[in-house]
Amino acid sequence: MSQRVNTFNFGTKGYLFAIAIFIAFSITVLIFLRVKALFGVSGSYEHYASGGTYPGHNAIVFDNGHKLLFSSPRSGHGDIYSLDIATGQEICLTNSKDYDGEASPSKTGHKIVYVNEANGTSHIWIMDSNGNNKRQLTAGEFNDRNPFFSPDERKIAFDRKSLGSSIPSVFEMDVEGRTIRQISQKGFGAGSPTYSPDGLFLYARSDGIIKFDLLSGGYIKLGDGDAPRPSPDGLHLAIKSGEYDDVVSIMDTTTGVKKDIVKPGEYIDTVAFDDSGSDLYYFSGKDIRGLAGEMWKVSLDGKTKKLIATLTK
């Protein structure tokens, strides 16, 4: 009898130990995935052609609601496309052998900034909206991502990571790429910056939404959320929120008060106001990489939804 008791105790302890190991492993994986979602896990993108992960369509409506700008791995390495929403006609804007993505149009829609990855580093490029006149703006042993035009189209905000680092910092440069200055403090993780309509502030993601004052150099945390895009009047931000980035929300740019608009039940890749500020666009991806999904337009009360376009890999 004594031997049976000892065997039972050993089995119970072993079982509990295994559960503890599993829980610890699960927590570690969740932390890893959250860091990856916020900042990425490597100094550069993996080429899609060589089996690396693809960062998603990053779909954006521009040209007064007539066109959709997005990237896709359908070429085997990632290219940028422009879609005429009315006709469904697509134009491939890039055709390099490298990854091209994270495209962002200027306010007038005449220029597009984007990311090109080659030889293990990613840098910011600029081109005309028809794909002509491509120029490299940043260089060096860095990974530069998430470019965004200032309202006057004279500056570009982006985030930069040193090679081997998973922590980005927010930078700003002139549209020629000649003068570059750091906005966020060194070691303060912040990325995906966007300008306020008056160009006086930058909003970025960190552990929540951060508001940088470009005149004073100070910053405040507004609240929880990701992928901020300001309304035309600058009073609100369109953001994605929720534990799984599956909620479309808006946030007050002064108080940080958040209001949920709609929960599609799928991963949200991008969200932004339309040009009037009365509706929101959001791209709802089929998985966290955003390889397939739909662009929707929703009213600010969440009651009216309209499918704009469907994108596939």
Q: What percent of the chain has pLDDT over 90?
A: 63
- The answer to whether the predicted template modeling score (pTM) of the entire model surpasses 0.85 is no
pLDDT surpassing 90 at residue 19: no
pLDDT at position 73: 80
CA distance 294 to 281: 10
pLDDT surpassing 50 at residue 41: no
Q: What is the 3-state secondary structure (H, E, C) of the chain?
A: CHHHHHHHHHHHHHHHHHHHHHHHHHHHHHHHHHHHHHHCCCCCCCCHHHCCCCCCCCCEEECCCCEEEEEEHHHCCCEEEEEECCCCCEEECCCCCCEEEEEEECCCCCEEEEEEEECCEEEEEEEECCCCCCEECCCCCEEEEEEEECCCCCEEEEEEEECCCCCCEEEEEECCCCCEEECCCCCCCCEEEEECCCCCEEEEEECEEEEEECCCCCEEEEECCEEEEECCCCCEEEEEECCCCCEEEEEECCCCCEEEEECCCCEEEEEEECCCCCEEEEEEECCCCCCCEEEEEEECCCCCEEEEEEECC
pLDDT tens digits, 156-207: 999 999 888 888 999 999 999 999 999 998 778 899 999 999 999 999 999 8
pLDDT at position 284: 87
CATH number 2.60.120.430 is the correct assignment for the domain at 40-220: no
Instruction: Give the pLDDT band (50/70/90) at residue 38.
Output: very low
pLDDT tens digits, 54-103: 556 789 999 999 999 998 887 777 899 999 999 999 999 998 888 899 99
Q: pLDDT: is 187 or 37 the higher one?
A: 187
Asked which of 101-105, 257-261, 289-293 is least confident by mean pLDDT, the reply is 289-293
Are 70 and 59 in contact by the 8 Å Cβ rule? The answer is: yes
pLDDT at position 174: 97
Give residue limits of the domains in the chain: 40-220
pLDDT at position 98: 85
> Average model confidence (pLDDT) for the chain?
84
pLDDT surpassing 70 at residue 15: no
Residue of 222, 69, 73 lying closest to 147 (CA atoms)? 69
| Buried b / exposed e along 160-171 (16+ C-beta atoms within 10 A) | bbeeebebbbbb
pLDDT surpassing 70 at residue 231: yes
